[in-house]
Structure 1
Amino acid sequence: MSGAPRPLRIWAVSDGRAGIEAQVLGLGEAIARRRPALVAPKRIAWRWGLGRLPWRLIPPAARAGDPIAAPWPDIWIGAGRATLPLSTRILAWSGGKTFVVQAQDPKAPLARFDVVVPPTHDGLSGPNVVPILGAPNRITPETLALAQARFAERLDALPRPRIALIVGGRSKAHDLPADHARRIARDVRTAVERTGGALMVSFTRRTPTAAREAMTAALAGLAGWIWDGAGENPYFAFLAAADAILVTEDSTNLATDAAATGKPVFVLPMKGHSAKLARFHADLAAQGIAAPFAGAFEAPAYAPLAETDRAAQEILLRYDGEP
């Protein structure tokens, strides 16, 4: 009697930034929920500042970071600019045996990949393109429950409604100057005080220091928890414990994570504008998932966004050779 087939070997490849790594790990873990698989994160860097060059000009020999060598994985999942010098070559290196998936719009010839998983708002199309609303993530009911349990002693004591405020920051299209951050914080504080609830605040690495300090000062004394960056990040726990979630408009990841909970999601404006992100938020609004914050936390119910699972299912179908 033959034994069970070996687990799929999946490499989740990124530059290690939290938001990018979450996308490749999220897709890998979603595949592993459907079929036995071992998901290994791989972090890529480039020596001598070569990572700033167009991917075609970066010699693979200049790579730093985790080992990338045979035996090759069954499935390669890459995301981010740093992975492109490798993602675009792995099909050839593996003799076509590695199934290559690239999250986001690679801005490279689509024929170099077996599947590309971009956000719908990028407008990318092609026979091997599987667009999704938002970005892949690691949110499941189980991950949320486990995260909340780790911080239960502190979170369970907070009055309801519990509001999570997830703050992004500076990007190519957006910024969060201190005066704007202070204004957001005051509006949120007024709304939370009106409900008698609590506020849980998580900043990201992109949040400018001045904005973080301004918001922390404006929210001082309010019931809740402003994470100061020390110790384990309670981000998932905040999403799990929240009755409603506020996110800044600068990030696909933050809004997608919030939408995966099925809880009311409200979007906070920042300085700047992105046409692509505006389309994304319009798509969320059209599906009844998110709305601009207008001082209240009630919203109609919606089904939790499960685009990562849908993409994983499609990847496996194509891996198996099904149309």
Structure 2
Amino acid sequence: MPDPIVLVLTQEFDVTADCVVRILNERGVRVFRYDTSRFPRSSTLTTRSTGTGWHTTLVDSTYGRRSVRLEAVTSVWYRRPAPFTTDPAPQQAHRECAVKESAHAVGGIFTAFPARWVNLPAVELRARYKPLQLKVAREAGLRIPKTLITNDPEEVPRFHRECGTPIVYQTLDSGLPHGPGGRPRGLPTIVPHDLSPDVLSRLRYSPCVFQELIDKAYELRITVIGGKFFTVRVDDTDDEGGPPADSRGFPGTARYTRVPLPDETEKGLRRLMDSFGLAYGAIDIAVDRAGEHHFLKMDPAGQFAWLDDEVPGLDLAGAMADYLSGTSD
């Protein structure tokens, strides 16, 4: 069996990638970490057909000259790669065309060779759709909050009355750029205190996700790596002493504890992961005061370095290194 070669497609600054790459280097595993924003500006990608197959080489000339033969790569970590960038000299239309051509070349060439992907780009893109996540989660036997997705202002008050509880809203995507590898970033879940026409009229600009507010006791952050589940309980309080709608809004106040995951919840999450074909995912679940588990969302490229800092012995970085190097299934 050939020695593992791990290709990490990421940004220049990424704390989560740093942790895993360091472990792989310590184990003597060859790693080619690549900032995709360097293509095609300071990198070349060449593939040619031969009598025995294909020969493909990626060369990065940003800081000296580094190269890797892609057919020799055994694992690829699609770790939040940066957008492609081109030489600033061409006109805007030419730059846009160059970026599109680069995406076709890289996507077509990289995904053509056999390797273990975490996760395949097309698989990850599909799994990011929050409406689809909620539908698949429900079909997998998981409980989800009552949900409304709309850009019709008249639908929200009706949904609010049907819930009979406070409602929350959040974006369909992150809403803000992700930070480079640290704690999760994005627009937190909001509990609207004002459903006046002025507020609701803003829906016309963009659809939002509205859900019943779960009277939660705590949250679970579940990290899945190659079929292994790592469950962390998140206890947090807001300014009034109760659990906040979204613990991301209160950094530094949470308590993190590793806990077991109920069998039925794990079975449902396995069905969810299998439905999407994901090798990795970061899942958020709210546990209400009756002990019921409510699936909230999944990030197929979620951060995890901060959890290793908070929970001694969790070692998510080590588990990812195991999976990428082929020492675990």
TM-score (norm. length: structure 1): 0.32
Structure with more contact order per residue of length (Cα contacts < 8 Å, sep ≥ 6): 2
Which structure would you say has the larger Rg?
A: 2
Structure (1 or 2) with the greater helix fraction: 1
